[in-house]
Amino acid sequence: MTIFADLTQLSVTLILKQTVWCASINPHQVFGFLGTSTMASLLSAQCAASVRGSGGLVRVRAAALGIAKRNCSSKQAYSDQYLHRSVVPSMHYQKSLPRLPIPKLEDTIRRYLAAQRPLLDDDQFRSTEKVAEDFQSGVGKQLHEELVAQDKNNKHTSYISGPWFDMYLSARDSVVLNFNPFMSFNPDPKAKYNDQLVRATNMVCSAVRFMKTLRAGLLEPEVFHLNPAKSDTDRFKRFIRWVPSSLSWYGAYMVNAYPLDMSQYFRLFNSTRIPKRGRDELFTDERGRHLLVMRKGNMYVFDIVDKDGNLVKPAEIQSHLKYILSDPTPAPTFPLGVLTSENRDVWAGLRDKLLAAGNAEHLQIVDSALFCLCLDDESMRDHIHISHNMLHGDGCNRWYDKSFSVILTKDGQAAINFEHSWGDGVAVLRFQNEIFKDTTEQPLVNPGSAAAAVDSASAVRKLQFNLDRELENGIKKAKENFDSAVSKLTIDALEFKRGGKEQLKRSKLSPDAIAQLAFQMGFLRQYGQTVATYESCSTAAFKHGRTETIRPATTHTKKCSYAFVCQPGQHSVEQLQAMLNECSKYHGQLTREAAMGQGFDRHLFALRYLANSKGQALHSLYTDPTYAAINHNILSTSTLTSPAVNLGGFAPVVPDGYGVGYGVHDEWIGCNVSSYPACNVHEFLECVQMSLEDIFTVVEGKPLS
């Protein structure tokens, strides 16, 4: 059974960065000891009796697209409590997911040097090469052997999971701009359903239904189907449900289906990042039945799950939200939510003071809420306004530490802002896709629905915190720091309408490679240089996989960019097309390697983490200025296309860089880019536009003018 063509298709199709994911797998990691025919026989023997006695069929509804396309045709009318009832239990594949491989050290060093080559002159590269080779033959070899041994003793997880959690939770910078991204929803196709109250009610109800479906094990597992005619069928699902979970992944593989890791999903609900000095903690309390609602900086809670674990009647939820939206209470002078935007050590100290002031119960209510709903009183002017509001807002009407917040503006624009330490966006995007589909196709309230005649004044509780002078001063200072930080952020957007994914695919070019090349060309036009670039690729196809880095700045993109930008008249159309092809091929190779856990960034990170944990002095590889430079990612990029998502965004990761959110659609390409004062985002997008024009001119077989 040949799999490499499938791997190519899988990894390229699933590229979604940073807030989202990219998945692929190296089957040799799990099939090196057992041929596929042997595995098929083993599966048959294990499962035949169970399948023969499986009984009746539970019909399933097609889940939201997510990223793994689901083409399930069977549907049923479902109760108000669940989105659907999957034949296959949600976590059925989790136990048998393959483990994230640790790359060979020599491969990591080779890839590291290849990524450094376009960023350095000859003397710098020779120096870096010497340091890297010394690391490989000495300290690095020892650390690698220890890492491999450690990994063998921890087969329940991945080698990167613990260090990655530590990296996020130990960071002391504010989560706002530095970590939390946003993804905005497309409007409901039925305009009247975009009313703030109607849409908020439907989203809350769908969110509870998602939570209940997940916790009941009825949410369809996250699976990428390369041959949905075989694997995304009732027949296969009835079969695979009886395969023991220790073997189920292999059964899916046999029909070209690739289950993805779902270990992060449990942190979606009732979860909060708790500030602690030195290192934060993640808190989850699934007993919480209430929703946290914020409006004008005021905080309200009410139950959206009843004592029997069922969704509260939608009309009652609508009534409670209507009560909050009509509450005349002015914005507080000292809005507590802004503290969650502070430096983590500062916020940890202030939280201790809040606890000492008698606010422990209220903080526990906030932390254990299912999620946070932010009702904003402002209407949005345009996409740029949406981006600013959903990425950071005014700092007062948010609780940035919640695992996720759903934000609804006065005119019904909606988005999710999520805290990043607990997960990489896989669960968030699935959640977003599911509730968009549910609210638009099966809304539980409509514009004509009457709110229930209930006593919302009794059901809704406004949280009042005890604040002393020191806490008031802390809130005041946090607001000043917040305003100063966000005032420096500029966001601009680009829509390139000349062509998109379809035209590039017809020319046998990777759409993602071409978008990344346009960013390289754009930066070269603007600043005359090639710089460190980051594209995150999920390793969700492996147990407890997190992310790996694709390095889009390559010797191929550098050569091609110079040809287009600096020497447009010196190359024929055929030569330029050949350069585009080389860039596309190499980017595809980097993507496949990263998706299969064969990048270099996470391996070097884990080795450094291991050295630090032992109190060992760092090798000069890590103190080399070129190592710092390649990790100073001036271009931080993330792509996202989804039927539910209008746009997504994040801030730059360095003061002199860009945060580039982009999507390559069928017939157009969109970019949503952020910068600080050191960079001119408007000029950058003009340069990207020019670069895309030139690329498509050459793709069309025309010479550059």
CA gap 179, 659 in Å, rounded: 12
Tell me the residue type at 215: R
Model confidence at 222: pLDDT above 90: yes
**pLDDT band for position 309 (50/70/90)?**
very high
Task: Indicate whether 284 and 338 sit together in one domain.
Answer: yes
Residues 665-672 have a mean pLDDT of 96
Task: Indicate whether 244 and 324 sit together in one domain.
Answer: no
Model confidence at 614: pLDDT above 50: yes
**pLDDT band for position 453 (50/70/90)?**
confident
Task: Indicate whether 431 and 528 sit together in one domain.
Answer: no
Query: What Å distances lie between residue 230 and 59, 225, 226, 249, 313, CA to CA?
Result: 17, 9, 9, 15, 39
Share of the chain above pLDDT 70, in %: 89
From first CA to last CA, the distance across the chain in angstroms is 49
pLDDT digits (tens, 9 = 90+) for 389-437: 999 999 999 999 999 999 999 999 999 999 999 998 889 999 999 999 9
Task: Indicate whether 457 and 552 sit together in one domain.
Answer: no
Task: Indicate whether 571 and 478 sit together in one domain.
Answer: no
Task: Tell how far CA 254 is from the center of its chain.
Answer: 28
150 part of a folded domain: no
- Strand segments, DSSP code E, in 230-289 are 257-259, 271-274, 281-284
Answer with the residue of higher pLDDT: 104 or 37.
Answer: 104
70 part of a folded domain: no
Model confidence at 73: pLDDT above 50: no
**pLDDT band for position 571 (50/70/90)?**
very high
pLDDT of residue 705: 81
* Structural domains of the chain, count: 3
144 part of a folded domain: no
Task: Indicate whether 503 and 590 sit together in one domain.
Answer: yes
pLDDT of residue 54: 30
33 part of a folded domain: no
Task: Indicate whether 91 and 192 sit together in one domain.
Answer: no
Residues 457-486 have a mean pLDDT of 98
pLDDT of residue 5: 33
**Is 420 labeled as catalytic in the residue annotation?**
yes
CA gap 339, 467 in Å, rounded: 13
106 part of a folded domain: no
Share of the chain above pLDDT 90, in %: 86
What is the torsion angle, in degrees rounded to the nearest 10, for the CA atoms of residue 504, residue 505, residue 509 and residue 513?
80
CA gap 361, 18 in Å, rounded: 35
Contact 196, 410 (CB under 8 A): yes
**Paired residues of 660 in beta bridges:** 637, 673
Task: Indicate whether 554 and 658 sit together in one domain.
Answer: yes
Model confidence at 562: pLDDT above 80: yes
What CATH number is associated with residue 388?
Answer: 3.30.559.70
DSSP letters for 369-425: SS-EEEE-SPPP-SHHHHHHHHHTTTSSS--TTBSEEEEE-TT--EEEEE-STT--S
Task: Indicate whether 348 and 402 sit together in one domain.
Answer: yes
31 part of a folded domain: no
**pLDDT band for position 79 (50/70/90)?**
low
At which of 487, 509, 539 does a domain end? 487
Query: Of 403, 435, 446, whose CA–CA distance to 206 is shortest?
Result: 435
pLDDT of residue 618: 96
pLDDT of residue 122: 97
At which of 231, 259, 287 does a domain end? 259
**CB neighbour burial string for 365-379, b if at least 16 within 10 angstroms, e if fewer:** bbbbbbbbbbbbeee
Task: Indicate whether 375 and 362 sit together in one domain.
Answer: yes
Model confidence at 14: pLDDT above 70: no
Model confidence at 109: pLDDT above 50: yes
Residues 29-33 have a mean pLDDT of 25
> pTM here?
0.88
pLDDT digits (tens, 9 = 90+) for 321-364: 999 999 999 999 999 999 999 999 999 999 999 999 999 999 99
At which of 462, 487, 512 does a domain end? 487
Residues 250-263 have a mean pLDDT of 96
Residue 127 in tokens:
């120096």
pLDDT of residue 69: 36
SS3 content of the chain, % helix, strand, coil (to 5): 45, 15, 40
What is the torsion angle, in degrees rounded to the nearest 10, for the CA atoms of residue 14, residue 15, residue 16 and residue 17?
150
CA gap 604, 551 in Å, rounded: 14
Task: Indicate whether 642 and 527 sit together in one domain.
Answer: yes
Task: Indicate whether 334 and 379 sit together in one domain.
Answer: yes
Model confidence at 68: pLDDT above 50: no
3-state secondary structure of 668: coil
> 239 is in which domain, residue-wise?
83-100+158-170+223-259
Residues 80-106 have a mean pLDDT of 96
Q: Give the sheet arrangement for strand 669-675, strand by strand.
A: 490-496, 669-675, 658-664, 635-639, 533-538, 547-550
**pLDDT band for position 168 (50/70/90)?**
very high
What CATH number is associated with residue 597?
Answer: 3.30.559.10
pLDDT digits (tens, 9 = 90+) for 286-298: 999 999 999 999 9
What CATH number is associated with residue 247?
Answer: 1.20.1280.180
Answer with the residue of higher pLDDT: 426 or 683.
Answer: 683
62 part of a folded domain: no
Catalytic residue, chosen from 290, 420, 571, 619, is 420
Model confidence at 233: pLDDT above 70: yes
pLDDT of residue 695: 98
Residues 205-215 have a mean pLDDT of 98
Answer with the residue of higher pLDDT: 229 or 37.
Answer: 229
**pLDDT band for position 11 (50/70/90)?**
very low
Query: What Å distances lie between residue 451 and 316, 412, 524, CA to CA?
Result: 6, 18, 57
CA gap 51, 54 in Å, rounded: 5
Model confidence at 654: pLDDT above 80: yes
464 part of a folded domain: yes
